Structure 1
Amino acid sequence: MEKTLVLLKPDALARGLVGRVITRFEEAALKIVGVKMKLMDEEFTRKHYFDLEERAGMDVYNTTARFMQSGPVIALALQGVDVVAKVRKIIGSTFPDQASPGTVRGDFAHQTKASSEVSGKAVMNLVHASGNSEEAKYEVELWFPESEQFEYETLAEKFAY
């Protein structure tokens, strides 16, 4: 069983989509082992997006940081078999205009002007999810110390595993 991080971004909360997004993960038999609401300050944003400036540039980092600090986010630590890949499929492409129908972003994210060109514009795509297992390990540990992760048995675990 692996773990991954999902953040419901300020636009998901502002639009009242939290329950509908979380339902997608529960329907896929993914287990919530941690949940919290948080306002991201500059220091925490830098820790979370530690490599974004290097990968995408200062403009992208600054725009993303401003957006992520514009309101509360809900963080989920999810657990399951191949959970990183499953979550990426459930949420869909980063860019709303490229996300398939049936995915979180394909069904709910707004098309933004030039959404496929991030330069200077925050992509309002409702959720962040770890991109790979290494990133997931770092992000889950950053957001959820061991004492804030919970163990319990779900019906899916009881009957499927």
Structure 2
Amino acid sequence: MSERERTFVMVKPDGVQRGLIGEIVSRFEDRGLKLVGGKFMRIDRDLAEEHYGEHADKPFFEGLVEFITSGPVFAMVWEGADATRQVRSMVGETDPAESPAGTIRGDLGLDLGRNVIHASDHEDPGSNEREIDLFFDDEELIDYDRVDEGWLYE
């Protein structure tokens, strides 16, 4: 069986306002990933600044913080084999215009600043664990076996 990992995903305020939570959850479930944590929430400024901390010195930082705190988000933790890389391939490029059809941003996004979804970066080792720890306490994550796991993994 392949090594499983957990990764962080968030439907951003534009995705929530457009009613895309169900569509996005369905795509990950259809792929075979397992939802182990989820919460509908508003992000406060402190959490937003910590979450986007690596961009603090960039000119777009303030806009990121203002946008992510502008409305509710749906934060999730997904589990599966190579989950962070799998999720990022499903999400597409940061700019929806550069995302191929079939990806979440390629199908559902139009604008770089309103790109529907955030997912941990598979090219930044540990970002998935750091982001999960920012948004979830251990007791909010559920361990369980999906009935179809035998059909998903060798």
TM-score (norm 2): 0.91
Output the CA distance in 1 between the equivalents of 2:28 and 2:116: 14
**Residue 69 of structure 1, CA deviation:** 0.7
**1:106-150 Cα deviation digits (max 9, x unpaired):** 00102x3xx4xxxxxxx1100000002410010011111111100
> Which residue matches 1:18?
21
* Secondary structure of residue in 2 paired with 1:71: coil
> Which residue matches 1:125?
115
> Which residue matches 1:35?
38
TM-score (norm 1): 0.88
Output the CA distance in 1 between the equivalents of 2:152 and 2:44: 40
1:87 counterpart letter in structure 2: V
Output the CA distance in 2 between the equivalents of 1:48 and 1:41: 11
2:114 counterpart letter in structure 1: M
> Which residue matches 2:47?
44
Contact 2:99/2:106 (<8 A) preserved: yes
Q: 1:4 aligns with which of 7, 13, 17?
A: 7
**Residue 156 of structure 1, CA deviation:** 2.9
1:92 aligns with 2:95: no
Unaligned runs of at least 5 residues, structure 1: 116-122
Unaligned runs of at least 5 residues, structure 2: none
> Which residue matches 1:119?
none
1:138 counterpart letter in structure 2: R
The size of the alignment, in residue pairs, is 148
Cα RMSD, aligned residues only: 1.2
Contact 2:49/2:56 (<8 A) preserved: no
Output the CA distance in 1 between the equivalents of 2:102 and 2:42: 29
Output the CA distance in 2 between the equivalents of 1:75 and 1:127: 10
Question: Compared with structure 1, are the counterparts of its residues 137 and 72 closer, same or farther at alpha carbon in structure 2 (3 Å cutoff)?
Answer: same
**Residue 160 of structure 1, CA deviation:** 3.5
2:145 counterpart letter in structure 1: E
Output the CA distance in 2 between the equivalents of 1:100 and 1:7: 20
